[in-house]
């Protein structure tokens, strides 16, 4: 039974595979799912509708690390991120596969295609707005404490569990800034001439809980919720 349900979740929640389902069907299904550790998800900024995205492109200034951007397409594998526990320097319990993610959890987000984690640091400004730079960092999923983010839910659902419908902020543990994007800080031919990311929005760290710092899970590949008894019956 668990294998059958897992397959259904994959087909409904992944817009790259679910050709027979509308985007509304996919979103409706995802909204009801508890988000679980080791799942691979697309994170969407609620206000701008951009997706957290990366590729093998590096910043030409600042840290020179792999760029993280906001992308408006919902079918791109470059927008898929694996949810895992925070860096072990924080003595965090392991985020075991299939365990529910909860408000207040400290996590890392590993880019599925490149194995680098969403990262930030106070040393460098973001290239467009001059806020704090957000990059992708590490090797094979290994990085450092600058990869740690805390989930701060806008309002807690039942038992503080994060569902697909849950709106949340991602607070950078080292600097206290929040993951942010907006439609006004875009890469253009003027500020990034002939760049492959022209049209993408800048991802940065911003002070305080701003409306453009609210995120949710749009779709992805979800491991079954091992806390739900019926999976073992």
Closest among 220, 210, 196 to 71, alpha carbons compared: 196
Q: Does domain 35-221 have CATH number 3.30.1490.20?
A: no
For 112-168, how does the pLDDT look when each residue is reduced to its tens digit (9 = 90+)?
A: 999 999 999 999 999 999 999 999 999 999 999 999 999 999 986 668 999 999 999
Confirm if 54 and 116 have CB atoms less than 8 A apart.
Answer: yes
- Residue 189: its pLDDT value, please? 95
pLDDT band at 227 (very low <50, low <70, confident <90, very high): confident
- Residue 158: its pLDDT value, please? 63
Question: What is each CA distance from 22 to 12, 26, 82, 101, 102, in whole angstroms?
Answer: 9, 6, 24, 26, 28
For 14-53, how does the pLDDT look when each residue is reduced to its tens digit (9 = 90+)?
A: 444 445 667 777 778 899 999 999 999 999 999 999 999 9
* Residue ranges with strand state E in the chain: 40-45, 51-58, 66-71, 81-85, 106-111, 117-125, 132-137, 149-153, 168-172, 178-180, 201-202, 204-206, 215-221
Domain ranges of the chain: 35-221
């Amino acid at each position: 039974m668990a294998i059958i349900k897992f397959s259904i979740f994959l087909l409904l929640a992944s817009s790259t595979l679910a050709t027979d389902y509308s985007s509304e069907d996919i979103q409706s299904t995802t909204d009801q799912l508890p988000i679980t550790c080791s799942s691979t998800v697309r994170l969407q900024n609620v206000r701008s509708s951009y997706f957290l995205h990366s590729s093998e492109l590096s910043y030409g200034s600042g840290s020179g690390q792999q760029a993280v951007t906001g992308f408006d397409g919902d079918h791109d594998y470059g927008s898929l991120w694996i949810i895992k526990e925070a860096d072990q320097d924080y003595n965090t319990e392991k985020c075991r596969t299939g365990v529910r993610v909860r408000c207040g959890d400290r996590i890392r987000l590993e880019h599925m295609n490149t194995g680098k984690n969403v990262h930030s640091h106070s040393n460098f400004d973001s290239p467009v707005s001059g806020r704090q730079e957000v990059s992708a960092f590490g090797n094979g999923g290994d990085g450092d404490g600058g990869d740690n983010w805390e989930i701060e839910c806008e309002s807690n659902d039942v038992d503080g569990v994060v569902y697909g419908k849950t709106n949340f902020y991602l607070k950078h543990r080292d600097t206290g800034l929040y993951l942010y994007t907006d439609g006004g800080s875009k890469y253009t031919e003027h500020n990034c001439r002939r760049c492959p990311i022209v049209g993408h929005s800048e991802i940065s760290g911003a002070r305080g809980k701003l409306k453009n710092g609210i995120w949710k899970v749009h779709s992805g590949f979800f491991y079954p919720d091992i806390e739900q008894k019926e999976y073992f019956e």
